[in-house]
Every structure is written in C-alpha cells, then in structure tokens.
A = this chain, B = another copy of it.
C-alpha cells in the first residue's frame, strides 16, 4: 500500500483527495496536515467522513507530521509546496502540488507567472523546476519520466481550456491568436475560506465576471497551447462565477483556418483524445451539462463548428474539484507510482 500524506487537508482540495484515497485500492492515508482547524479528527471537521477518516489533523510542525510518506499531496496555496517539497523529496516521497509552484519548468517562467498575479517572483526551490512535470496527463502523458517524483497539478480553469483546445492547436485548425476562453465556475472554485463575495446571499441568483484584469490560470493555458501549436499563443480569458457549488463550463472559440470544416475538426478531436479515457466527445446536439461530470474525473467536450461565422466552438465540462483538482491529482499519483491510470477514478458520479 502506498502511504500518503495530505498537506492542506482542511480545504476543499484536501478533502477531495481524502475522499478519493479512501476508495483507492492501493493507497492509504497516513498523515493529515493543515495550518488551521487542527487538533480534531478529520471526520469532525468534515462530518461526511465521520467513521471513514478519523485521523487527527496535525499542525505542520507536529512531530507526527514529519513521518516519511510515499506520496505527499500539497493541497495548499501558492508558495507553500515550494517551501516544503525539498524536505519531502529528501525523505523519499513523491510530491504532487496543487498550486502554481511546480507548473513551470524554469525560474524565469515562474517569475513571469508570479509577477503577473502579484506574488513574490523568486522561486524557493528553483533546482526542482527542471524535474517537475505539468500534470495534465491527457496533454503530456509522454513527458512524465519513469522515475517522475514531482508534479505540478494544473489549475482548474486550465484543465477544461487545454483539453478543449489542444486538439485544435495540434492540428492547426484555428488561427493561433484568435482564441477566446469564456469560463463559468461554481463557487467552490474559490475555496473554503469565507469572504464577502462568496457569502451565500451575495451569490444567490447572481452571475458575474471577475478578475478581468488577469487570472492566474491564463499563463499556463497559453504556455500549454503554445507548446502544442509550436508557436506563441495568446488567449482572451474571462472568468465568471455562477451560483452552483461545483462545475466549470468553458466555452472556447477560435477562428477556423481557411478550408477547415466540421469533418476535419471532428477527426482531429477524435484522434487527439483517442487514448484519453477521461475525455468524452459529443456533437452539438448532445444534451450534456456539468451535472453529468460532477463528482468524476471526466471532461466532456461538445465539439462544434459555427459554419456561418467559420468558428470552432468547443464546450468543455468538468468538475472543478475533481478533474480540475483532486481526481486529476490522483490520476497523477497513479501515473508516477506505476499504477493503472484509471485506478480509483473510474466512476460515473450520481445524478441528479
């Protein structure tokens, strides 16, 4: 059994990975760590886990929190993982970090990312950036090394945008700078910490765009698509929040290159995602919505061409807390531990 430590277990990303690990046949939760609300059993902090996971939530400096693990998930904000990952790696762990800390492969790129969103630009463990991998298997499974021990789990918005646009970029279907990502997220994407704008009455029957001046996930979308396209890509990205708990609906647009039609589009998507079990493709008339991926690791893509305006339109559906975070992280664990990629993840969710 793989022994797992979860740092940041008290947030939504933490509880998500705990839920998944509880039903994973080859993993076992060994240690839970958080910065706040410590000293109580996990099943008291999250009553749905009562009887399933009653391990105590430890403070980071608790001696019991130092026990070596086989895999450590950092379900933590930016700049926590980079501070603690070196010690965990030194103890022999593999590390999967949820934040932007290990999504970029050089100190320069990190500095650009951090600068854009107002973080300190100096990476605290630059020596690790060369061995980290961007953790979206459907995009770059081949980039994972046999002994991969460090993964930067992608941003929730990035997952849907990249899975929905990479096939078009790879096949050169669209003008590279014509891409617009119009994304709508449920409120859980903002995390567990209460705030005025995520207070229940403030969100009720309310939809709005936010961070128009720049969202932290844009850069990784542009970098990933640019790598696939083989040239620099810039996208217009709009984050919007709608009053549901879970789900991201990303509507993605690009101007088709001269002569590209629906058949070619369909073919390119089928080819690109052929080996990607967790991506399901649909035509324009399919009645699919975010409820159909809720609680799962799936990304459903409706692939469409607006022939009147010669545009590609792809609608990507994910659960922001699953494929956008915890279940994708578990998929990464499977990959870097040599387990079947789908282990513990191949479940349909519940409806309605």
Q: Which residues of A contact B (CB under 8 A)?
A: 12, 15-16, 19, 22-23, 46-53, 177, 180, 182, 184, 186-188, 192-209, 212-213, 234-236, 238, 240, 242-247, 249, 251, 253, 280, 284-296, 300, 302, 304, 306, 308-309, 311, 313, 315, 317, 347-352
CA of A352 to CA of B198 in the docked complex: distance in angstroms? Answer: 13
CB distance from A167 to the nearest CB of B (A): 18
| B180:A205 contact, CB within 8 angstroms | no
Contact of A288 among B22, B47, B186, B238 (CB under 8 A): B47
Complex contact A48–B209 (CB within 8 A): no
Q: How distant is A146 from chain B, measured CB to nearest CB, in Å?
A: 29
Residues from chain B with Cβ under 8 Å of A204 in the complex: 187, 205, 244-245, 291, 352
CB distance from A9 to the nearest CB of B (A): 13
| In the complex with contacts A184-B242, A201-B12, A234-B309, A350-B19 CB distance below 8 A | yes
Given the complex of chains A and B, what is the CA–CA distance between A293 and B206 in angstroms?
10
Known contacts A48-B348, A201-B192, A287 near B208 by CB under 8 Å: yes
Q: B19, B48, B194: which contacts A196 (Cβ < 8 A)?
A: B194
Among B51, B196, B209, B352, which residue has its beta carbon within 8 angstroms of that of A315? B209
Contact of A207 among B235, B249, B348 (CB under 8 A): B249
CA distance A25 to B215 in the complex (A): 44
Write the nearest CB–CB distance from A323 to chain B, whole angstroms: 13
Rounded to whole angstroms, the CA-CA distance of A52 and B205 in the bound complex is: 22
Whether the pair A199, B206 counts as a contact (CB closer than 8 A) is no
- Complex Cα gap A207–B177 (Å): 27
- A85 and B19 alpha carbons, distance in the complex (Å): 39
User: Given that A200-B199, A207-B290 are known contacts, is A244 also in contact with B243, CB under 8 Å in the complex?
Assistant: yes
Check if A208 sits within 8 Å of B311, measured CB to CB.
no
Given A199-B194, A348-B22, A352-B12, the answer on whether A177 and B309 have CB atoms closer than 8 Å is yes
Q: Decide yes or no: A47 and B292 within 8 Å by CB, A198-B194, A205-B247, A253-B236 being known contacts.
A: yes
